[in-house]
């Protein structure tokens, strides 16, 4: 994960996980949070924030604090974001190696795994579904390029089944 994003990521995690209580809402978020959300096309209506100092009633920050949220879903989104942040450079490296002529059984298998993980980590919005379909198609191509003998190895056979199942199942 990009080190400069860690404070923002940690702040958002704290903001989202704290349950809304008796806060007075403000119609804005800190500018750096609004910028990050805007860049990622995250609407402000999709976020509830309540930050209080331990032992104090008055919130430091309150935004949509009276809107109930499902913390489990929030944690999944943050985990997905972190996974994609970590996986992005790995996939960029694979793609660069592929352009440079890398190939072979191990390379194709590992790239197929990475593409599969990228696909299933996508959000269920329209953009995420499109990225998911693209990554699954690329994973399928890498899998299909493996020899039939390699595709029969148990871990590779499982990967093929996971890719096929993910392609047959809409993102949720």
**In terms of residue numbers, what domain contains 20?**
3-63
The verdict on 8 and 37 lying in the same domain is: yes
Q: How far apart are CA 60 and CA 50, in angstroms?
A: 8
Of the listed ranges 66-75, 111-120, 125-134, the least confidently predicted one is 66-75
Q: Is the pLDDT of residue 5 over 70?
A: no
- Answer with the one of 20, 35, 63 that is the final residue of a domain: 63
The verdict on 86 and 162 lying in the same domain is: yes
Q: Is the pLDDT of residue 13 over 60?
A: no
The verdict on 79 and 39 lying in the same domain is: no
Q: How far apart are CA 165 and CA 163, in angstroms?
A: 5
Q: Which residue has the higher pLDDT, 135 or 29?
A: 135
For residue 87 the two structure tokens come to 């996986």
What crossing angle do the helices spanning 126-145 and 154-168 adopt, rounded to 10°? 150
The verdict on 92 and 147 lying in the same domain is: yes
Q: How far apart are CA 99 and CA 56, in angstroms?
A: 57
- Answer with the one of 63, 92, 113 that is the final residue of a domain: 63
The DSSP H or E segment spanning 61 is strand 59-63
The verdict on 84 and 140 lying in the same domain is: yes
Q: Is the pLDDT of residue 150 over 90?
A: yes
> Is 115:142 a contact under the CB 8 Å cutoff?
yes
Q: Is the pLDDT of residue 134 over 90?
A: yes
Q: φ and ψ at 133, to 5 degrees? A: -60, -40
> Is 142:112 a contact under the CB 8 Å cutoff?
yes
Task: Please tell me the predicted confidence (pLDDT) of residue 69.
Answer: 73
Cα torsion at 99, 103, 109, 113 (round to 10°)?
-10
Name the percent of the chain lying above pLDDT 90.
Answer: 29
The verdict on 131 and 86 lying in the same domain is: yes
Q: Give how many domains the chain has, as a whole number.
A: 2
Residue 102 DSSP code:
-
Task: Please tell me the predicted confidence (pLDDT) of residue 43.
Answer: 86
The verdict on 75 and 133 lying in the same domain is: yes
Confidence tier at 68 by pLDDT (50, 70, 90): confident
CA 2 to chain centroid: 14
Mean pLDDT of the chain: 80
For residue 155 the two structure tokens come to 């871990």
The verdict on 153 and 97 lying in the same domain is: yes
- Answer with the one of 63, 80, 95 that is the final residue of a domain: 63
The verdict on 55 and 113 lying in the same domain is: no
Q: Is the pLDDT of residue 87 over 90?
A: no
The verdict on 44 and 103 lying in the same domain is: no
Task: Please tell me the predicted confidence (pLDDT) of residue 20.
Answer: 40
The verdict on 147 and 79 lying in the same domain is: yes
The verdict on 100 and 152 lying in the same domain is: yes
């Amino acid at each position: 994960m990009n080190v400069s994003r860690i404070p923002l990521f940690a702040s958002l995690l704290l903001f989202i996980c704290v349950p809304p209580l008796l806060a007075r809402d403000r119609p804005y978020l800190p500018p750096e949070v609004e910028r990050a959300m805007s860049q990622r096309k995250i609407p402000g209506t999709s976020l509830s924030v309540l930050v209080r100092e331990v032992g104090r009633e008055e919130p430091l920050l309150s935004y949509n604090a009276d809107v109930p949220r499902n913390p489990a879903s929030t944690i999944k989104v943050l985990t997905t974001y972190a996974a994609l942040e970590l996986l992005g450079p790995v996939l960029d490296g694979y793609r660069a190696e592929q352009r440079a002529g890398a190939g072979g059984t191990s390379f194709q298998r590992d790239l197929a795994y990475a593409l599969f993980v990228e696909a299933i980590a996508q959000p269920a919005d329209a953009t995420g579904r499109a990225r998911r379909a693209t990554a699954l198609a690329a994973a399928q191509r890498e899998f299909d390029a493996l020899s039939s003998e390699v595709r029969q190895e148990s871990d590779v056979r499982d990967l093929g089944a996971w890719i096929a199942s993910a392609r047959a199942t809409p993102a949720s």
